[in-house]
Structures are given as C-alpha cells and as structure tokens.
Amino acid sequence: MKFIKQTFAFCLLLIVSPISWSAENNISAWKLEIEEGRTKVHSRKVQGFEIDEIKGTTEIKTTVGELIALYLDFDQCALWAVNCDKVTLIEELSENELNVYREIDNPWPVSNRDYYLHINLSKNTASGETLIKFEDIKSINTKNKGFVRSKMVKGFWKFAPSNDGLVEVTYQVHLDPGGDLSASLINSGIKQTPIDIFTALKEKLEKSK
C-alpha cells in the first residue's frame, strides 16, 4: 500500500540532527516561554530574521502510528491544526515525499495566507521515531486570489515513543507570513500556537478512540 494515499485532500505540519536546519545562521539559545504540565514552548532569535523560531514539546497518550495517520488524514486538518482551511495534494514524489498546497483562514482583519509545502517523512526503526520535515516551495509562484503568499515556512514534527504508552511530540517552526504584520505582533502571538495545536490534537485523538 502506498504510504501517501491519493484520496487524502493536507494540513500542517529533521533531521540531520534532531534540531536545527539553521546551523549556518547565528542563533540564540532557546528561551522558555510557556510551561503547562507536560507541555513547553520555547523561542529563539535567528540572525537575519525579525520573527522568532519556536519549538513546542508535549507528551500524548497515543501511538506513533496514530499520530502519523492523523497527520496524513488531510481532511481532518481543520480539527486540530490552527487556522487550517484547505490543503490539496499537488504531487506525490515518492512513498515518503509529497508536495501540497495549503490555505490558512485567518480571523478578520488579518488576510488569509497560502503556501506550497514540500514534506519529507523518515522513520528510525531502531528508536521508533518518526520525523517529518516541511518547507515552503519557493519555485512555485502561482498567485491565488484572496491570499497573501507566506514568505517562509520551515520546520518539522517529531513523534518519539516514551514511557507508559506516551509519545513525545515536538513541533518546531520558523516562518514569515508576509504581508504588513509587524514582527513584534507575530512574535507575541506565535508562542501560543503550539499550545493550541497540542490541545486540539489531544482532543481529536481522544474522540477517535
């Protein structure tokens, strides 16, 4: 069976080392922004960018397989991925790689965003970890009416088995939504994004049981 099914319609969202693709940039140390139980959100500055990179970690009582299945069930993205409106599979490059188009439905007065993403999935059979990298495809410059094209989206998801039936989930992203939003406004709001995603993800997995 193919890893990516053509019937999937995508939503949101390493690895050479399990952390940064920004090694060539001067980056600051991670700063803890939010800590709620098992969930933590960190941010850090990246030289050359006004918008911070963020990383969220949590533990969820589920399996890696269930998380992968939900991530790849693109019709479900609006139920757990913040502001995800619609994702379309553009091209399946291999069993582990695909290109998608994603639309972001932002609350008024912020304009809706869109972007094309390249997604790569890899598994570590020894540790049981699944790593999913994603990065915007700048070579596709088709403009779609009613959307502001995001300038940059780059990050990863990591699902790693832990103890007591838990999975450690890591979501890391560095983005620039484009448009006229100020960096200070984006930085103040983006820190809450992992919390909202993890909360919705847990609720969706609970309802699926």
What is the percentage of the chain residues whose pLDDT exceeds 70?
Answer: 88
For 18-63, write each residue's pLDDT tens digit.
Answer: 334 444 456 789 999 999 999 999 999 999 999 999 999 999 999 9
pLDDT at site 23: 46
Distance between CA atoms of 105 and 12, rounded to whole angstroms? 13
C-alpha dist (Å) from residue 7 to 78, 102, 133, 134: 17, 16, 22, 20
Domains of the chain with CATH codes: 31-208 (3.30.530.20)
Distance between CA atoms of 97 and 117, rounded to whole angstroms? 11
For 135-179, write each residue's pLDDT tens digit.
Answer: 999 999 888 899 999 999 999 999 999 998 999 999 999 999 998
pTM for the complete prediction?
0.85
Q: Whole-angstrom distance between the N-terminal and C-terminal Cα of the chain? A: 24
pLDDT at site 16: 30
Q: What integer best gives the mean pLDDT of the chain?
A: 86
For 107-142, write each residue's pLDDT tens digit.
Answer: 888 899 999 999 999 999 999 999 999 999 999 988
pLDDT at site 26: 67
Three-state secondary structure along the chain?
CCCCCCCCCCCCCCCCCCCCCCCCCCECCCEEEEEECCEEEEEECECCCCCCEEEEEEEEECCHHHHHHHHHCHHHHHHCCCCEEEEEEEEECCCCEEEEEEEECCCCCCCCEEEEEEEEEEECCCCCCEEEEEEECCCCCCCCCCCEECCEEEEEEEEEECCCCEEEEEEEEEEECCCCCCHHHHHHHHCCHHHHHHHHHHHHHHHHC
For 52-77, write each residue's pLDDT tens digit.
Answer: 999 999 999 999 999 999 988 888 88
The amino acid sitting at 109 is: P
Distance between CA atoms of 156 and 183, rounded to whole angstroms? 22
